[in-house]
Structure 1
């Protein structure tokens, strides 16, 4: 259990770093019907993660990963290489902002926008897949597995729900402005660092599992 959360915590923190989704949510909050649109956007992004985590858990169970250490180690190596490859890609290419409306999004459109934003989030999605797969292969009890997955889901949903919660107070709004400024200045560095961290963790775990 300690080993699982020692890996899960940094992966979840890295998955929570999504400058693009944070900027989109802040923009929705500043528009017409901002809070309603922001709630729908956050719900849409969360639905994608719930489906993804459920899918990984289903596949993991069918493969019986805890009973197949070599298969699990091979997947760790593959996921680690994918994360490192993405880190190198974002290091060399600055992500372009997605085009979207600033004002007037209906709740339905904002929900669809949240689904699209998360489904095309190539920083958070690989980290969630890797961490969810690790939970599936951990062999812990059902209760601890559920808690671990809820922790992962909450962290990965932070770019969607975090700004919405902070916007309820003036202090939170000022904090959002500071966070947005930091992300605007250091977004690529934060993304690359998170992907590198995840890649190193899973590549190391995979190589140790093979040896």
Structure 2
């Protein structure tokens, strides 16, 4: 409710995911957050490359199911610099897919939640991730459309980042960022050597075909 009211009264607007205010907001909320719920698909998974995983909120949930999982987050340079304070033997942050893959070695799962559509070329990024050759790929909160869409999104700063218990970080700033859609057909075609295991309106799980497994 507060965010809805503030949308009518933004005092200023910041641009994109590299802005220090947005990075700070997401970092603080991630530190404070204690995710609940189950993630059964992550059980028995040893290594995960998390594309667009911010400051590691998905890792905080995953380790409830797989305490020893090694987790590599690929993020923007600004997010990586901030999140480096949270690194452990099992959680690391990287600016490139190649660096994350090198640290992990063998990758059991590539995971991405609501991130690829904010890259300059989403389908090319999907191809790069599929090219890593992980046995499984899990996508959530995708932006599908039959016709290509490019839009400027706007939200309030306090709406960004995970939900966290405790004091609400008050701000009247707005945030804008670009988002690009892609069709389901071109998205699936970018997964060379994979088949769709299951899917929904904005999510898809892929498994690598045995004949092409690395």
Taking structure 2 as the reference length, the TM-score comes to 0.20
Q: As a proportion of its length, which structure holds more strand?
A: 2
Higher relative contact order (CA 8 A, sep 6+): 1
TM-score (norm 1): 0.20
